[in-house]
Amino acid sequence: MAGGKLSARQKMINLMYLIFIAMLALNMSKEVLSAFGLMNEKLTKSNEAATVRNSQFFAGLEQQAQDNNLKYGPLRDQAAQISGYANAFNTYLTDLKSQMTAKVEDPTDYEIMDKGDFLDNSWFKGDKLKPEGEAFLAEIAKFRDGVGAVLATNPDMAGIAKDVADKFATDPVKNRDNNTMRWLDYHYKGFPLVASLTKMTQLQADVKTTESEVLSSMLAGKLKVEASLTNFEAIVVADKTAFFNGENFTGKIILGKKDNTLTADKVVVNGTELSKEAMKAGETFLDFPAGAVGERSVKGEFTFKEGGEDIVIPFESTYAVVPKPNSATISADKMNVVYRGVPNPMTISFAGVSDNNVSASAPGLSKTSGVGKYIMSPGTGKEVAINVTGTLPDGTKVSDRATFRIKDIPKPTGTFNGQQDSAKLPKSNVEIGKVGALLVDFDFNLPLTITSFTFKVPGQPSVNVSGNRLSSQAKSALRKARRGDNVQFINIKAKASGNAIKIKTVSPVIVELSN
């Protein structure tokens, strides 16, 4: 187009071509800037949702640690360290993004964010980095190295630790011309403001993802450990606590976590391997001579296969062989403690002494029908002592005393439509569902009635509700929830039917909306 003598018409055509090409380049640049802006918006919304999920997850872990600090306390402490590093880095990035857009008239107009002056002037001075640029790299290192140090204490987290180290690495990189560049120059120098802003938001997304992965992996690891056979405890349960000389010892060995499908490969008791017939439905039955008068022991080991390896669980217990009745046998029929607020059935007897020659006394203790049957209704205090007196056939009096711990009714577990702790349900089911409470692993039949609770929808004010179903105000809040939101039932209050005893606050329930 530049060679030879051109007519006026050809010159006009050439000029139009140049204008057209310039317009295409301008439009494409605007489209790219807008694309970065839209990506930044989507990442920002995703980060907000991740923040809510991580907060809810940590709140649940905090509740678990309060209920059982020995088991979940160390896990909660590690999670708190990770969250601390994540929150500090996220706050720094948020402040930096605010500085980057402080002089932008309309932060939603991404087509005007085509200059990189802010970071170029703030971080770089020729070929050197300014203190602000060094500070940015230091914040990345603080998060990366801090999280890595916490994860280094847990071998199961090696994969996540490596991913964090790679994702937040700031080592020099090679450009497409195979030239080595500083990481900060390669990613931020000369880039449009909107591109750098989007990269900052992506860094925040990486921080949120790391926090989520660590929290979920920690809990999964804890559940795996809890399910391992190495946590089972073998317990010897004798049919009675003392035996006469000449009798056979009778009893059984059970596992602390009983499973009817669980069968040991081998069981050795007092040096003798038992037959397969002695092991049934997670129990091992014992039947051998009790031995001479005195204290005797039962010890041995279970052997199981797990992961191709032998897991050995040792056990040991003692029992007494006595020549004649000299102590009382006092046992709670359902538990080794007595509970305040409910009638505790008990069996009290003296070995070799008939029931009509046995008397027992204690505050709250009363005799009922049946041989050796009593009801204990403890009052105040932490312990109750039961005194027992027996009259032998020759008229001799024998006596004994036993002390039982008094416990309050345990903290109930929250339910929604019968599902404990958490559930995933359609919004319509939540609207008509019922909040409930269970006393898990509590051997007494004590029905509970829900009197009130607080309903929480993400982004909406909490609603206090009376009864066990959503009120109209709570239903209105529920209709504003979105698919995937976790709605919470907290501050659940319950009372025992026909019982004035105070019931502890019920544990919360979280329901994920499936539509």
Residue in the block written with tokens 């958490």 = 422
At residue 13 the predicted structure's pLDDT band, cuts being 50, 70 and 90, is low
How distant, in Å, are the alpha carbons of 205, 337, 500 from that of 376? 59, 11, 17
**Percent residues over pLDDT 90 in the chain:** 21
Q: Are 60 and 53 in contact (CB under 8 A)?
A: no
- 3-state SS assignment for residue 207: helix
The yes-or-no verdict on residue 163 having pLDDT over 50 is yes
Q: Are 164 and 156 in contact (CB under 8 A)?
A: no
The closest alpha carbon to 170, from 181, 184, 185, 188, belongs to 184
DSSP state of 239: S
Report for 195-199, 236-240, 439-443, 461-465: range of highest mean pLDDT: 461-465
So what's the pLDDT on residue 397?
87
Q: pLDDT by residue (tens digit) across 70-127?
A: 767 777 888 888 888 889 988 998 998 888 888 887 777 777 777 778 888 888 888 8
At residue 477 the predicted structure's pLDDT band, cuts being 50, 70 and 90, is very high
With residue 194 as reference, give the H or E element that holds it.
helix 193-227
DSSP assignments along 30-60, one per residue: HHHHHHHHHHHHHHHHHHHHHHHHHHHHHHH
Structure tokens, 343: 């009638």
So what's the pLDDT on residue 492?
93
So what's the pLDDT on residue 263?
61
Strands 448-456 and 486-496: antiparallel
Q: Are 210 and 86 in contact (CB under 8 A)?
A: yes
At residue 393 the predicted structure's pLDDT band, cuts being 50, 70 and 90, is low
Q: Are 484 and 30 in contact (CB under 8 A)?
A: no
Q: pLDDT by residue (tens digit) across 237-276?
A: 666 655 545 557 777 776 655 545 456 667 888 888 877 7
Give this prediction's pTM.
Answer: 0.41
Query: What is the rounded CA–CA span in Å between residue 354 and residue 372?
Result: 9
So what's the pLDDT on residue 44?
78
So what's the pLDDT on residue 488?
94
Please state which of the ranges 236-250, 277-291, 492-506 shows the lowest mean pLDDT.
236-250
With residue 301 as reference, give the H or E element that holds it.
strand 294-306
Q: Which amino acid is at 73?
A: G
